Amino acid sequence: MKIGFIGLGSMGAPMAANLAKAGHAVTGFDVTGVMPEGVSPAAGAAEAAAGRDAVITMLPNGAILRSVYGEIVPAAAPGTAMIDCSTVDVESARAVAAEAEAAGLLPLDAPVSGGTGGATAGTLTFMVGGSDEGFAKAAELFDIMGQKAVHCGAPGAGQSAKICNNMILGISMLGVCEAFSLADRLGLDRQAMFDVVSTSSGSCWSLNTYCPAPGVGPASPADNDYKPGFAAALMLKDLRLSQQAAEAADAPTPMGAAATALYEAFVAAGSGGKDFSAILPDLMARGRQG
Let me know the angle formed at the C-alpha of 86 by 80 and 89, rounded to the nearest 5 degrees: 110
Strands 146-153 and 112-113: unpaired
Spatial contact of 130 and 104, defined as CB atoms under 8 Å apart: no
Q: Determine which one of 137, 162, 237, 274 is catalytic.
A: 162
Q: 162 catalytic, yes or no?
A: yes
Just list the catalytic residues: 162
